[in-house]
Amino acid sequence: MAKTTPAGVGAVHDKHGGPAGSDAPMTHRQIMEALSGLLLGMFVAILSSTIVSNALPEIISDLHGSQSSYTWVVTASLLAMTASTPLWGKLSDLFSKKLLVQIALIVYVAGSVVAGLSQNTGTLIACRVVQGIGVGGLSALAQIIMAAMISPRERGRYSGYLGATFAVATVGGPLLGGVITDTDWLGWRWCFYVGVPFAVIALIVLQKTLKLPVVKRDVKVDWLGAFFITASVTLLLIWVTLAGKNYDWLSWQTYVMVAGSVVLGAVFVYVESKASEPIIPLRLFRNTTITLASAASLFVGIAMFSGTVFFSQYFQLARDKSPTMSGVMTIPMIGGLFLSSTVSGLIITKTGRWKSWLVSGGVLLTAGLGLLGTMRYDTPYWHLAIYMALVGLGMGMMMQNLVLATQNQVSPKDLGAASSVVVFFRSLGGAVGVSALGAVLGHRVTDYVKDGITALGPEAAAAAAKGGSGGGIPKLDAMPAPIRTVFESAWGHGVGDVFLYASPCALLAFVITLFIKEVKLSAQAGGTTTATTQAPAPTEATPARQGG
């Protein structure tokens, strides 16, 4: 039985649209005050996922790590974020959303502080897991809290702000990481410390401004379901991460790990079908919109994360740019994502229509990735800027609006679970995409280097070995001009191939969005039109009383 309590916020709770007060909607200023801490927390959490990309070579070198450690520092965070997202979403349906987002921030801060103090790669990887759990909570809860406060019709503009924050943090992270790494008196450890003060500020701001009704239910958390989905996803991601490096893609290890992941997934489905409060209610997938939005998010995630990870490698290794400049040169993608997420959100709020933005975003994302597939080490930068802008515009139109379309068609009691499902599949796509496309990149670069060295003759092989080409990051400055050109060309062509292979995923996302039926956005908060503006629980479906 659900019971809604004002959580001790009294008159302030009424001001922010609590069920005990006026049924007037919150003003823009009140909403922005309430979202300020949430957006700040979201910014620093996502920043932590991307800020290390340009600093990783120096981090691994200082900690005497291996190429395997390099991969796991990235993958550990993505794995933890993906696996924990559904659990955070379900907990938000059962407990205080405000308390949960504060816990997620504390988890993130703890992981960041210890990560900055790491003396070996094992400690760093463990801390990245802790960071990933916190980021998973913030990624899911940001969408859920917005839905609890704001009607789907009005949510468009605020989803735009969230998308813009996500854009700047996702693509701006490598830029900031490069600046910190290139600054002698800071060093790579500050890549982990820099977000901590902002996270603390976010905690304080959330405590003062975020006022939500608290739903208390006398139910148990489905820990068994949480275990099996975490185990299934973890095994899948470990397979994708190690395949092609530690063993062949077609090998007994692959068969065992894939089969194990499928079996664990099947057990999870069985457990969820019997649970009274499942982590992911299977009935949600009877709704075609949720099923299609989840599938589209999976493929959007592949495109979104691959763009941020591989661009830094392209600019540093194919064009010999510094970590700082490699971040600066991705600004067209930041601008496109920022612009489209903000503008589409404002227009959706005015019209209540969102499908045309999803479809258009799919077209732009597919076109942008396909054009990036043609890039080489000497492609004119202005061409790349246009292609990156197209990718950014497409991601901005699709990312938040897939969540918005889902939230518009669920009851308030399933709001957290439904929102986290879409975010989960987006994170899963990103984790699988980064691992699989990273393996493809490694193979393609190796092949292109061999072809280039062979064409130059036997003396070139010895010169390449001197330059440090033995499978790690090549030292371009130490190479003779012809050998250096071979490596730059190989990396340019290899990264281009990665984007070319990612473009069919964007095309699939586009095709899927064509089948999503548009339902005009509700003007009431908390989910479907059967819910009141304030109530997060199905028992609060009666009109709010005037005057409290």
**Phi/psi of residue 247, nearest 5 degrees:** -160, 165
Instruction: Give ∠ CA 172-293-500 in degrees, rounded to 5.
Output: 55
Residues 83, 51 contacting (CB under 8 angstroms): no
Q: How far is it, in rounded angstroms, from Cα 45 to Cα 172?
A: 13
Q: Which amino acid is located at 302 in the chain?
A: I
Residues 359, 409 contacting (CB under 8 angstroms): no
**Exposure string for 31-52, b = 16+ CB within 10 A, e = fewer:** bebbbbbbbbbbbbbbbbbbbb
Helices (H) and strands (E) in the chain, counts: 19, 2
Residue 6 is classified by DSSP as -
| Both tokens assigned to 6 | 């004002």
Q: pLDDT tens for residues 119-155?
A: 888 889 899 889 889 888 887 788 788 777 777 767 7
**Phi/psi of residue 5, nearest 5 degrees:** -120, 155
Q: How far is it, in rounded angstroms, from Cα 151 to Cα 199?
A: 27
Mean pLDDT of successive 10-residue segments in the chain (548 residues)? Answer: 38 36 59 81 77 76 71 77 80 81 89 88 89 85 79 70 74 77 82 85 84 62 82 82 76 92 92 81 85 90 73 82 79 85 83 87 94 92 94 87 81 75 82 78 84 74 53 61 84 91 92 87 51 35 34
Q: How far is it, in rounded angstroms, from Cα 20 to Cα 10?
A: 9
Q: Is 217 helix (H, G, I), strand (E, B) or coil?
A: strand
pLDDT score for 360? 93
| Both tokens assigned to 354 | 């969102």
pLDDT score for 463? 57
pLDDT score for 525? 53
For residue 408, give the nearest of 282, 530, 249, 540 by alpha carbon: 530
Q: pLDDT tens for residues 226-264?
A: 888 888 888 887 887 777 777 787 889 899 999 999 999
